Chains A and B, each alone.
Chain A
Amino acid sequence: MARSPTASDARAGSQIGRSLPRLEGRDKVTGRAEYTHTMRVPGMLHAKIFRSTVAHGRIKSIDTTAARNHPGVRHVVTIDDIKRFIPNPYYGPAFHDQPILADRKVRFVGEPVAVVLARDPHVAEQAAQLIEAEYEELPPVFDEVEAVTADTFVHEQLKPAATFPDLKHLQGVSGTNVALDYRLRRGDFARAYAEAEHKFEHEFKTQKVLHLSLEPFATIADYRHDGVTIHSASQGPSFVRIEIARLLGWPENKVRVKVPYVGGGYGSKLYIKLEALAVALSMVARAPVKVAVTMEEMFYQITKHPSTFRIKSGVDRDGRIVARKCEVYWNGGAYADIGPRVAQKAGLTASGPYDIDNVDIDSYAIYTNVTPSGALRGFGVPQLAWALESHMDMMARALRLDPVEFRRHNLLREGDIHATGTPIEDAPLDTVLDTVLDRLAWTQPLDRGSGTIRRGRGFGIAIKAVVTPTTSVAILNVSADGSVTLYCGTVDMGQGSDTAMAQIVGEALNVPAESVRVVPRDTDVTPYDMGTLGSRSLFHMGHAIQRAAAEVRDKIASLRQEVGEPAGSNAPLSALFQKRYGMQAGNIIGSGAFRPDYVPPSADTGQSDKATPFWLISAAGAEIEVDTETGHIKIAKLVNVVDAGTPVNPKIVATQISGGALMQLGFTLFEKIHIDGGQITNASLADYKIPGLHDLPGTVENVCVEHAQSNGPFGAKGVGETSMFCVSPAIANALDDAVGVRLTELPLAPEAVLRALRAKAGRPIGDD
Chain B
Amino acid sequence: MSAPRTISFTLNGSPVTADVGPHQNLVELLQTQFGLTGARESCGQGLCGCCTVIVDDLPVSGCLYLAAFVDGADITTIEGLGSDDELSPVQEAFIEAGAFQCGYCTPGFILMVTKLLDEHPDPDEETIKHYLSGNLCRCAAYAEVLDAVRLAARKRKVQTRAMPN
Q: Which A residues have a C-beta under 8 Å from some C-beta of B?
A: 21-22, 24-35, 37-40, 72, 120, 122-123, 211-216, 261-266, 294-296, 493-496, 651-652, 655-656, 658-660, 662-663, 684-686, 690-694, 696, 700
Contacts and interface: CB of A to CB of B under 8 A. Distances in A.
A21 B47 contact: no
Nearest to A649: B98
Contacts of A294: 44
Given A213-B102, A495-B101, A30 B79 contact: yes
A662 B106 contact: no
Contact of B143 (A34, A35, A38, A700): A700
Interface residues of B, number: 55
A685 B48 contact: yes
Contacts of B145: 693
B133 A692 contact: yes
A28 B103 contact: yes
Interface in B12-47: 21, 23-24, 31-32, 36-45, 47
Contact of B140 (A213, A658, A686): A658
A214 B47 contact: no
A412 B151 CA distance: 44
Contacts of A30: 38, 78-79, 81-82, 87, 91
B95 interface: yes
Contacts of B42: 214-216, 295, 685
B139 interface: yes
Nearest to A656: B101
Interface in B85-112: 87, 91, 94-96, 98, 100-107, 110
Interface residues of B, dominant DSSP = loop
A685 B47 contact: yes
Interface of B: 1, 21, 23-24, 31-32, 36-45, 47-48, 50, 77-79, 81-82, 87, 91, 94-96, 98, 100-107, 110, 128-129, 132-133, 135-146
A28 B143 contact: no
Given A264-B139, A294-B44, A693-B142, 6 more contacts: A29-B103, A31-B38, A38-B37, A214-B136, A659-B139, A663-B139
A529 B31 CA distance: 33
Contact of A21 (B37, B40, B96, B107): B96
Contact of A655 (B79, B133, B141): B141
B79 A261 contact: no
Contacts of B104: 35, 213-215, 263-264
A655 B94 CA distance: 13
22 contacts: A21-B98, A28-B103, A30-B87, A31-B38, A31-B79, A33-B103, A37-B40, A38-B31, A38-B37, A39-B37, A214-B50, A215-B102, A263-B40, A655-B101, A685-B43, A685-B47, A686-B43, A686-B47, A693-B135, A694-B129, A694-B133, A696-B143
Contacts of A658: 140-141, 143-144
A700 B141 CA distance: 12
A265 B21 CA distance: 33
A29 B106 contact: yes
Given A30-B91, A213-B138, A692-B133, A262 B1 contact: no
A211 B36 CA distance: 27
B43 to A, nearest CB: 4
A263 B102 contact: yes
Contacts of B37: 31, 34-35, 38-39
A694 B143 CA distance: 11
A21 B92 CA distance: 11
A685 B42 CA distance: 10
A215 B101 contact: no
Nearest to B88: A29
Contacts of B98: 21-22, 651-652, 655
Contacts of A211: 138
B103 A24 contact: yes
A24 B106 CA distance: 13
Nearest to B144: A655
B43 A494 contact: no
The residue in B24, B32, B42 that gathers the most chain A C-beta atoms within 10 A of its C-beta is B42
B29 to A, nearest CB: 13
Contacts of B77: 31
B158 to A, nearest CB: 19
Nearest to B96: A21
B106 A28 contact: yes
Contact of A662 (B79, B82, B142): B142
Nearest to B107: A31
A652 B142 CA distance: 14
B25 to A, nearest CB: 10
A264 B110 contact: no
Contacts of A266: 138
Contacts of B43: 214, 295, 684-686
A161 to B, nearest CB: 29
Given A120-B1, A662-B142, A690-B138, A494 B102 contact: yes
Contacts of B23: 122
A493 B102 contact: yes
A2 to B, nearest CB: 15
B55 to A, nearest CB: 16
Contacts of B140: 658-660, 662-663, 691
A261 B106 CA distance: 13
Contact of B101 (A35, A39, A123, A496): A496
Contact of A263 (B103, B132, B144): B103
B1 A29 contact: no
A662 B36 CA distance: 31
The residue in B24, B78, B135, B143 that gathers the most chain A C-beta atoms within 10 A of its C-beta is B143
The residue in B24, B132, B139, B141 that gathers the most chain A C-beta atoms within 10 A of its C-beta is B139
Contacts of A495: 101
Contacts of B141: 655, 658-659
Given A120-B1, A652-B98, A261 B103 contact: yes
A676 to B, nearest CB: 21
A28 B98 CA distance: 11
A300 to B, nearest CB: 15
Nearest to A665: B140
Contacts of A692: 133, 135-136, 142
Contacts of A690: 136, 138
Contact of B45 (A214, A496, A684, A694): A684
A693 B78 contact: no
Nearest to A660: B140
A685 B45 contact: yes
A264 B132 contact: no
A40 B47 CA distance: 25
Contacts of B146: 693, 696
Given A266-B138, A692-B133, A215 B48 contact: no
A31 B102 contact: no
Nearest to A126: B1
B162 to A, nearest CB: 22
B95 A26 contact: yes
A715 B136 CA distance: 35
A32 B102 contact: no
Nearest to A28: B103
A41 B137 CA distance: 28
A675 B69 CA distance: 38
A32 B79 contact: yes
Contacts of B105: 214
Nearest to B37: A38
Contacts of A263: 40, 102-104
A471 B135 CA distance: 38
A376 B117 CA distance: 36
